[in-house]
Amino acid sequence: MASSVKSVDFETLGLRCPICLDVFTSPRNLPCLHTYCQHCLHKYIVENVTTEKAAATFICPECRKETYPPLPDIPVDTWAEHYPYNTVLLSVLPPEKRKVDKTCDSCMNEGGSVTAENYCGVCKEALCSTCAKVHRKNKATRNHAVVNIQDVIADLELAVSLSVSITCPKHVGKEYEFYCNTHNSMCCSECVDQVHKGCREVIQVKGATSKVRKEKETIAVIDRLKELKSQLDQFRNENQEEFNKMKAEVNNIPDEIEVVRKKVNTLLDNVKSRITMEKNALLKEESIACHVKNQQCESISSAITNSFHVLEAVFAHGSPRHFLTTLHKIEEHLVHYESAVKEKYSEVRHVDAKLSLDHSLLSLIKSNDTNIAKIDIVEKKHSLAPSVFPPTKVKTVNPTTIRHDGPDDETKTVKERTLPEKSLHFKPLKDCKPEVIAQCNADYPDGRYPRYSAIIRLPDDKVLLVDCNISTCRLYDASFQHLADYKMTSCPLGVCVVEGSEVAVTLPHQKMIQFLTVDSSIHPGRVINTSQGCDGISALSKDQLVVSCIRNDSLYWCILKMDGLETFCVEVCPSSWRSQLSVNNRRTHIYVSYYNPGAVYAYSVNGTCIFKYKHKTLDGACGVGVDREDNLYVVGQMSNNIHQVSPDGTPLQVFSTGIPKHPSAICFFSSGDEFLLTEESDGKLAHKFRLK
């Protein structure tokens, strides 16, 4: 068996660190079960954690799950060495890659971090040189076998034992030597005498392991691992092909912009040609009209001049009778002249000529909006191929009774046991149903009745409830234990996490947004004033908020800077009902609920309406939330249900079973498949659901 295992091509097993892409060295496990080289993990943590406080966290490079330090109050640069080893990987890695850099257990118990150089086989502890000297001098431990730790690490089984306790916690100094199949637990000899004496399914650990270590079984497991790796390689190749395809399409987008530019230029050239023709025709028409009017004025002017000369001549040379007769005639003509001049003056037009643009084009130019075009990524879920593996079968020892006079008298037989198959399928959330897994009794000791209009989960899994009836923000820990209350200056309605421990709460009656800092208590921060009373609120970035509000009997959503300045506003629909809103995980879509009769609107951040979701079974649309797959959840307060909607607006499911009466606010946990839900009928309760 040993020769077969040593000949395994470890490169083909996919034993590569996702960070350095090399075969694992000293593999360490995160709580999410993803594994990295210790030095890679150390470098990643140091680069991504900006503070050395124990409350700091980092994101797993693979699943993006928030990860907490392995121990409280330890420096950031020691986190990696305190995460547990991946003993499964250690068991198959080549010896030169195991490099178990163990920290001294005694020093670590005192909060120190010193590299171990020795190992006590009796205490099963790694020791630094100082602690090893003390160990050899101590009367109780001077006879213990203390050896160089590198000699221990050379033995694979002992190397694994460095990270897995094999001593019985109930009986000091006793090692686990037996396994009870009846109770599915490891036990020492004293446990067998005291607890498992009547169990028929107690077996020796060494006897059990010797039976399952069959070469053909090892090769079979390796073959299956290779088969799984082959399937993963296929997925990786498809993923690379999809990326190359997307890359080509994305690289082609600037060329498409040029095509659009040419089309726009052609359109503008055609508009210019048409306007030029209209200009020439207009000028010709107006020129003729002006010329005619000028000729008419010249004719009237000539008649007036002639009358003036005649009257002047008669006055100078004519007889009195002739003068009076001529004067009388000219006075008659003068009335006509005045009427003609007045008429012509009334025909004078004051004309301004200017280019009139279409309203939409004019708005586009004034806005200087570069978001008139964007890159849309249409994702299609990949269907995982069915598992290529049959149910895993292992050999295990048939239960026998142990004789207490020694393990050599034990009779051992072997039988086959089928373990449950672990499917490779990941169930989409659109195929899951919600189940209640916890309840939060969020009532007041003095009997006051709350009404929770909004709820959020903080990065450390604390929960903040917004009570619009008592005007209070209430803080609970992850297990729903009450921590603190904070009395607001008026009725709060919406709440969101801004960044880290900072949250923002809307106070619509005061036209304000109150910022709070939340740790184990709630502390007031800055306040910004808004032009309108805001209802729902979400963070688009650390510099921008998006809010919903009622303005002139219409529902709007607006983007605000952190000083309250409104930079963008979109009218949704006529409404006087308060609303809630949420954003998707990538902060590219905004969802606004419309209470009566019941709908939700989806917008891009540039104001384009993507879809309107309305359903006959949705009444009183209230809270909105988004799961890890960007599916939308709309709470129907009057219809007593939750609607699950795809990112493109397609109805997926309607949840009514187990949903409390008159549900209100909803928020998802970081896992993306668990959510909290408040209710109106019993305002003191909040429910935690998991999608299964």
Reported as a single tens digit per residue, the pLDDT across 406-463 is: 333 333 333 333 333 333 345 788 889 999 988 888 888 888 888 899 999 998 889 9
Q: Tokens 């529902």 appear where?
A: 555
The yes-or-no verdict on residue 220 having pLDDT over 80 is no
Across residues 176-190, what is the average pLDDT? Answer: 81
**Contact predicate 117/100, CB 8 Å:** no
Percent share of the chain, pLDDT over 90: 25
Range with lowest mean pLDDT among 9-13, 304-308, 541-545: 9-13
More confident residue, 331 or 612: 612
- Three-class DSSP category at 3: helix
Contact 116, 105 (CB under 8 A): yes
pLDDT band at residue 351 using 50, 70 and 90 as cut-offs: confident
Q: What angle do CA 659, 548, 673 make, to 5 degrees?
A: 35
Using one digit for the tens of pLDDT, what is the confidence trace for 613-672? 999 999 999 999 999 889 999 999 999 999 999 999 999 999 999 898 889 999 998 778
Q: Residues 125, 128, 129, 133: what is their CA dihedral angle, to the nearest 10 degrees? A: -40
pLDDT at position 636 is 94
Give the list of residues 6+ apart from residue 457 with CB closer than 8 angstroms, or none.
463, 497, 667, 668, 669, 670, 676
Mean pLDDT of the chain: 80
Most confident range (mean pLDDT) of 49-53, 163-167, 441-445 is 441-445
Is 485 within 8 Å of 502 (Cβ atoms)? no
Residue whose pair of structure tokens reads 């619009």 in the numeric block: 468
Q: What is the reported pLDDT for 681? A: 67
Q: What is the DSSP letter of 105?
A: H
CA 76, distance to chain mean position in Å, is 25
111: left (phi over 0), alpha (psi -120 to 50) or beta: left
More confident residue, 168 or 479: 479
Q: Is the pLDDT of residue 466 over 60?
A: yes
In Å, how far are 106, 115, 198, 558, 607 from 369, measured between CA atoms? 63, 59, 80, 16, 11
Q: How would residue 206 be classed by pLDDT, with cut points 50, 70 and 90?
A: low
Whether the per-residue pLDDT at 87 is higher than 90: the answer is no
Predicted confidence band of residue 163 (pLDDT cuts 50, 70, 90): very low
Identify the structural domains of the chain with CATH numbers, from first to last.
1-98 (3.30.40.10), 232-348 (no CATH), 435-442+450-691 (2.120.10.30)
C-alpha span between 438 and 247 (Å, rounded): 45
Highest-confidence segment of 148-157, 487-496, 678-687: 487-496
Q: What is the pTM of this model?
A: 0.44
Decide which of 195 and 571 is more confident. 571
- More confidently predicted of 426 and 24: 24
Confidence of residue 56 (pLDDT cuts 50, 70, 90): confident
| More confident of the two residues 372 and 567 | 567
pLDDT in tens, 225-262: 888 888 888 888 888 888 888 888 888 888 888 888 89
Among residues 556, 548, 558, 601, the alpha carbon closest in space to that of 574 is found at: 556
* pLDDT range class, residue 83, cuts 50, 70, 90: confident
Q: What angle do CA 266, 272, 277 make, to 5 degrees?
A: 130
- Give the pLDDT of residue 387: 43
> What pLDDT, on a 0 to 100 scale, did the predictor assign at position 385?
44
How far is residue 231's CA from residue 236's CA, in Å, rounded to a whole number? 9
Report whether pLDDT(396) > 50: no
Highest mean pLDDT among 293-302, 391-400, 505-514: 505-514
List the single range of 46-55, 169-178, 515-524 with lowest mean pLDDT.
46-55
Lookup: tokens for 504: 């923002």
pLDDT at 367 over 60: yes
pLDDT for the residue numbered 413 = 32
Asked whether residue 593 carries a pLDDT value surpassing 90, the answer given is yes
Low-confidence winner among 106-110, 132-136, 191-195, 594-598 (lowest mean pLDDT): 106-110
- Residue with the bigger pLDDT between 321 and 677: it is 677
Q: Quick check: 82 pLDDT over 50?
A: yes
CA distance 593 to 622: 6
- Apex 437 CA angle, 677 and 83, nearest 5: 105
